[in-house]
Chain A
Amino acid sequence: MPERFHGWGLAADTGQCRVCGSSVAQRYFWPEVYAHSGQALMRCGHCATVYLAPGFSAAGLQRFYTGPYRRLFPAEVPWRSTARFFAWRGDADVARKRFALIDANLPPQGQLFEMGAGFGAFLGQAAQQRADLQLSASEPDIAQRQALLGQASVRFVESLATLPEQSLDAVVAFHVLEHLIDPRDFLEQAVQKLRDGGRLWLEVPDLMSDWQTRLFVHPAHLSYFCADSLRRLAEAAGLQVLYCGAHPVGALAGTLWLEALRPTTPVSQPVAPAAQQQVEAVDQWISRVGWGYRDRIKALLKAMAMRVLGPGLLGEWQRWRQYRRHCAEQVRR
């Protein structure tokens, strides 16, 4: 049986799009089945953002990440050996590749902020390769955030909002935007905190990637973006988008990469409407994913395995499979 969490701390359902606020043409697809949180997958007919509704209240979100989150996602739970945990996940390798994409655009002694620093892998790599950088970050998981920092000196702050205006040269957020209650708020804050010409890099799962099961949708990811909706959101926040599309790193296929610039005079504006074809493409893409008996049995087996083996062992198995896949790809190349 799927693990049930009571008191999810969901916000009131406004019937409005999480990103643009529109209440019109919000399409219902199906109930969230990964954790049976009581949320439903919706699509906005105005901006084409896909989202889970209702979202979390701020208190509910905090409760979710301190409680159910780790149990819902066993791949995030270390088991016995933390060295093996990180080796199999490949955090450092991915971080190196991400940093290589942005390094050339960071000025000497540049101020870099990472939103949702996780285990600190990216900041650890940044410090290793560019000792001149001034690093700051926000990460609520105090227990784990130093795990991969290495020798990096990082100033952890409560949130981006606490930093002075126009004090940063770079803001990065890898797999964070989709977790936020108010993604536009974060982007507008980034615009405020970046200096003229400062840059923002984002990485999010691609809604239009080849996902085949409704388990792709889960309560930790509140918003689901395609390249088009992500670009329009960033532009609405006042950013000048330099690139938004498939991730340049092959190993990160299935994710979107966005690079944007803070213009001298940023102009925040309403989220531009999506083209009708874009909305239809999103609808088609989601509608192709069914929930047949095979999916149900698979979900049931996973939930049973979680009960019998516990999240640690199950996570270890998942990471081992991921590591094996990664090694096989390396050999092929």
Chain B
Amino acid sequence: MCGLIAVRALSAAADLQQRASRALASLARRGPDAEGLLMVETAPPTLLGHRRLAILDTSSAAEQPMRCPITGTALVFNGAIYNFVELRDELRALGCVFVTDGDTEVLLHGWRVWGEGIFSRCNGMWAVVVWDAPSGDLVYSRDRLGVKPLYLHHDGQQMVLASEVSAIAQMLGGYPAPNPEKLFDFLITGFSEQGTATFFQGVRAVPPGVVGRMSRTGRFSQAPYHQWPEPGSAEPLSSLELRGLVEDAVHLRLQADVPVASLLSGGLDSSIITQVALNASQQPRQRLDAAFTYGYRDAEQVGFDESARAALFMAEGGHGDRHHVLRFAPIPSADELMSLIRVQGEPFSTLSVLASFRTYRAIAEQGFKVVLSGEGADELFGGYSARYHSLAARDALWSGHLMQVVQRLRLRTFPVSSLFNRLVWDLPLALLGPLLRRHRPSVGVMSAGLWEAQQQRLALVRQRMSSPLEQRIREDQLDNLLPMTLRMADRNSMSAGIELRSPFMDHRLVERAFRTPALERIGAGLSKSLLRDAFKGILPNRLVATPKSTGFGHAEQFLVPQLPWRELLADLPPELNDFVDLNALRRHLARPQCHSTLWLALSVALWYRSIYA
């Protein structure tokens, strides 16, 4: 788990090494333990840089960039290959000799032996850049789900790859201009990660599950190494199989040479992860040292505080001594809020991420470097019941199955208003546009210029929003909610020097879930019915039989008007008005009742301040 950069200049470039050093320094918080920058070749000038967070084999022998002693190939790697022991055994049988006890060297030898085939053999999360000495190609790849970030900027003369956009900005000598298309989409939907575009013009996220390649002469190619299966292409996932997969995924993710903790919200997903980890052998590389829960200091937020549930869960299992509750005031100071905004680097959809931002810092202060969390379970198993049940009702309505609609409404798993929210997206554009502008504050405060200039995007947004449930849940997992969650989690954890590991993101589990029809995963009543069935009898019944808990930081998202926005929205560059009507935003925020989507516009304004002011 680290930060990386790779640069290839196709024409003469001044100060390449110095700029690369600055770029690498901007990633220091991702890797506080070591730094390495290597000019791997001079024609064309090609650099690999790495900041290390030492987790597996913490000795200096495992530092990066790491070079292959046989071919001279070099690589930089951010992430963790959980099946590295198994792959290392295979490679040893093929004659490879290892001098470290970590996963990076396995990738290096695996590249020499299997080439691009190494990626489909890996179980893990990664962003990796390989300079292949025999061909001179610069090869880059991300894991199947894009858990680990990798961004690209290529202006035809120079390609930069980096773990964060801030490093690309250092290489370019400044941030690229804002991407108006992305801002438009975000203010309408709140989704920040659809597709590979970022909020910066010309900066793209490398797509997950592909291998990209750039030759010495700038030839560029890309090919997938992985395809996700379609629903119904195999037997659906059974609860027994699911439990086995989750247990194995947790055990693989306990491998570390540093202390490991878990996030425990008191809900289903984090309790599963914590329980399975506590049941592991507790031998080296199989031990959970602590569980952390986020709670509130003030009585006003008691309705959102689940720390008592979490404490009870740990105490019942006899692990009360390993449980820590971290308490905070929900309203951040202006400094803390701007610190979060800078760490995220791009606008983000919910202020509830403040909770994990604070939690990772507190966990790191106690000496932990690896944290297990339940990220992805909600997206994979349909945890957002109001969202998915209302979509199912809409699909039933359009298919003429009125009785199904009535049955779904009777279950009361979503408010009727949510069904209307879904149906709105099926209106003609001529009606939809004015409705959004009038009734959705984040759209209402969009500048007239942005609204007019990006009208053609409304049709694309509408098309996505009106897709059927099965497609929608898949998009949520691959191109929407999950990538957004992963990005926010990566930035928050890495800013504290914490490696976040998410067992529900194990690709074997995700593949099996994808083959299972969405409604089977979600269930008709309580959400995530498949997951609940899998851990019935293992977890206390109150956890598997009660509705979804609120999770970390639920209170924050309702407190937007109480944020210190007045001082932060003062003295902003006037160019921001090209995207957001600041006066309108201030007016809305000053009202006692504030629509939750207003955070989207505030997030854009604060992001703009952090980057361009």
Binding site for B on A (CB under 8 A): 11-16, 20-26, 28, 30-31, 46-47, 57-58, 182, 184-185, 188, 236, 268-271, 273
Contact = CB atoms under 8 A, between A and B. Distances in A.
Contacts of B196: 12-15
A330 B156 CA distance: 47
A12 B209 contact: yes
B218 A12 contact: no
B469 to A, nearest CB: 16
B219 A57 contact: no
A23 B168 CA distance: 13
A186 B335 CA distance: 55
A11 B220 contact: no
Given A15-B196, A23-B203, A270 B221 contact: no
Nearest to A46: B156
B191 to A, nearest CB: 15
Contacts of B577: none
Contacts of B459: 31
Contacts of A188: 219
A21 B214 contact: yes
Contact of A15 (B157, B197, B214, B219): B197
Contact of B217 (A16, A182, A270): A270
B453 to A, nearest CB: 12
Interface residues of B, number: 37
B154 A22 contact: yes
A13 B206 CA distance: 9
B218 A20 contact: yes
A49 to B, nearest CB: 11
A57 B223 contact: yes
Contact of B224 (A11, A47, A268, A269): A11
A24 B154 contact: yes
Contact of A21 (B159, B197, B208): B159
A155 B120 CA distance: 36
Interface of B: 10-11, 152-157, 159, 176, 181, 195-197, 201-204, 206-210, 212, 214-215, 217-224, 456, 459-460
B218 A24 contact: no
Given A12-B209, A21-B159, A21-B220, 17 more contacts: A11-B210, A12-B207, A12-B208, A15-B196, A15-B204, A16-B220, A20-B218, A21-B214, A21-B219, A22-B155, A23-B203, A24-B201, A57-B223, A188-B219, A236-B217, A269-B217, A273-B156
Nearest to B155: A24
Contacts of A15: 195-197, 204
A14 B224 CA distance: 12
Contacts of A23: 152-155, 202-204
Given A11-B222, A268-B217, A270-B218, A20 B156 contact: yes
A30 B156 contact: no
B219 A185 contact: yes
Greatest chain B CB density within 10 A among A16, A31, A188 is at A16
Given A11-B222, A14-B196, A58-B223, A22 B156 contact: yes
Nearest to A18: B220
Contacts of A26: 202
Contact of B155 (A12, A30, A46, A185): A46
Given A12-B207, A14-B207, A15-B197, A24 B219 contact: no
B156 A47 contact: yes
Contact of A271 (B156, B215, B224): B156
A194 B477 CA distance: 47
A274 to B, nearest CB: 10
A268 B208 CA distance: 29
A12 B206 CA distance: 9
Nearest to B212: A14
A28 B453 CA distance: 12
A269 B217 CA distance: 5
Contacts of B214: 21
B221 A182 contact: yes
A184 B153 CA distance: 20
A274 B345 CA distance: 33
A19 to B, nearest CB: 9
Contacts of B456: 30
A47 B223 CA distance: 22
B313 to A, nearest CB: 40
Contacts of A25: 201-202
Contacts of B223: 57-58
28 contacts: A11-B222, A12-B208, A12-B222, A14-B196, A14-B206, A15-B204, A16-B154, A16-B204, A16-B220, A21-B156, A21-B214, A21-B218, A22-B154, A22-B156, A23-B154, A23-B202, A23-B204, A24-B153, A24-B201, A25-B201, A25-B202, A182-B221, A185-B219, A236-B217, A269-B218, A270-B10, A271-B156, A273-B156
A24 B224 contact: no
A263 B306 CA distance: 73
B150 to A, nearest CB: 12
B220 A20 contact: yes
Nearest to B195: A13
A185 B153 CA distance: 22
A29 to B, nearest CB: 9
A55 to B, nearest CB: 9
Contacts of B208: 12
A229 B456 CA distance: 28
B209 A24 contact: no
Nearest to A272: B156
B207 A13 contact: yes
Contacts of B152: 14, 16, 23
